[in-house]
Amino acid sequence: MSTIITSRLVLRPLRASDAEAIQEHFPHWEIVQHLGDKIPWPYPPDGASQFVAIRLKKIETSQDESWAITLKGCDELIGLVDYVADDDEAGNRGFWLGQQWWGKGYMTEVAEAFHFYAFEFLKLEKLTFVNAVNNPSSKRIKEKTGAIHVGMTRLRHLDGVEESDKWELTASQWRKNFDRARNTPVIQP
């Protein structure tokens, strides 16, 4: 799995030691409310360690990948981005970011870097994304990064909302809008 470096962030492979930072930054209603209801809530004290163990096992046995989002110069996880190779109606990419880092454009930067990796290194032809209809921040990231709204799907979220927006981004759409001079991340194997 590669490390993806942007102007302000390092997306490095998830590791077992990230569970502590996940347990600190993730289990807040403002973060989890728009996520799928498979996430245990209230989040158990060992929720992050269970998640990391399951996710690392899945990465070993599939084409899935997960990256810790870190600030350049600081190795502590502040969020997470997952790539799920098989779209199971929840999309190929999921992400979250700790609240204290909201409003700085980090998630758009993460999405742009992930798209570059997916289309240039994984050679994918299409990505799908899903967000709860009542999650305007996630919707805005998809719009800013060139995804096209293709309809609605049913996916139950922790806050009880069941309708989700479904989005697609094809390699050709992405290539039309990609600004190499501004957005090319460094990929390290």
Tokens of 80: 């997470």
With a cut of 90, say whether residue 179 has pLDDT above it.
no
- Number of separate helices (H) and strands (E) present in the chain: 7, 9
Determine how many CB atoms are found less than 10 A away from the CB of residue 41.
Answer: 14
pTM for the structure as a whole = 0.95
Query: Which tokens sit at 58?
Result: 């899945």
Q: What is the pLDDT of residues 15-36, one digit of tens each?
A: 999 999 999 999 999 999 999 9
Q: Over pLDDT 90: what percentage of the chain?
A: 92
Task: Please tell me the predicted confidence (pLDDT) of residue 177.
Answer: 86
The SS3 assignment for 185 reads coil
Q: Which one, of 80, 94, 89, lies nearest residue 163 by Cα? A: 89
The answer to whether 135 and 94 are in contact (CB under 8 A) is no
The residues that bridge with 95 in the sheet, in sequence order, are 81
Neighbours of 64 (CB within 10 A): 16
pLDDT exceeds 70 at position 181: no
| CA dist., res. 141 & res. 144, Å (int) | 5
72, containing H or E segment: none
Return d(Cα 78, Cα 97) in angstroms, integer.
Answer: 6
Domain ranges of the chain: 3-188
Q: Kindly state which CATH superfamily the domain 3-188 is placed in.
A: Gcn5-related N-acetyltransferase (GNAT) (3.40.630.30)
